[in-house]
Amino acid sequence: MKCRYCGSIDSRVIDSRPSDDGLSIRRRRECNACGRRFTTFERIEENPVMVVKRDGRREPFDREKVAVGIRKACEKRPISADVQNRMVDEISREVNNTMESEIAASTVGELVMKKLRDVDEVAYVRFASVYREFKDTQTFMEELQRLLNEK
């Protein structure tokens, strides 16, 4: 495993244990070159689920794209990294458990919005404004009204 500090590929595992979600193995490593420690995660390799974009393009599902979207929506909000990571894990699990080889990008977006709505309404509105491409304040207000009506 390549050291994130010095780039050396010579490291050793110090500690290994299951992660909190039980879906990966957390490994503490120590670089033999610089002596610094870092953490890696080992996950089961899944058959890639292809995401069908609005324009018809297909690309493999990327949990990191989901994580980036959630992090941006939760920026400067009181939402811990653990909660954000849990949302990403849950969404990834739902996508991979569909048993389908393809999933619409809109389905992934709706899953993200559902998780964000349950955690933080401001983060939800931030994500929805980008995802649903609000064109003006009227569409923004309509989404806020829909959110208030659901309460």
pLDDT tens-digit readout, 62-87:
999 999 999 999 999 999 999 999 99
Residue range 77-119, pLDDT digits in tens: 999 999 999 999 999 999 988 888 999 999 999 999 999 999 9
Q: Specify whether the CB–CB gap between 16 and 25 falls below 8 A.
A: yes
> Does the reported pTM lie above 0.85?
no
Mean pLDDT across the chain, nearest whole number?
90
Q: Specify whether the CB–CB gap between 111 and 91 falls below 8 A.
A: yes
CA distance 14 to 39: 10
pLDDT band at residue 15, thresholds of 50, 70 and 90? very high
CA angle 77, 146, 76 (to 5 degrees): 10
Residue 46 above 70 pLDDT? Answer: no
Residue 22 above 90 pLDDT? Answer: no
pLDDT band at residue 44, thresholds of 50, 70 and 90? confident
Q: Specify whether the CB–CB gap between 135 and 81 falls below 8 A.
A: no
Q: Looking at residue 23, what is its pLDDT?
A: 79
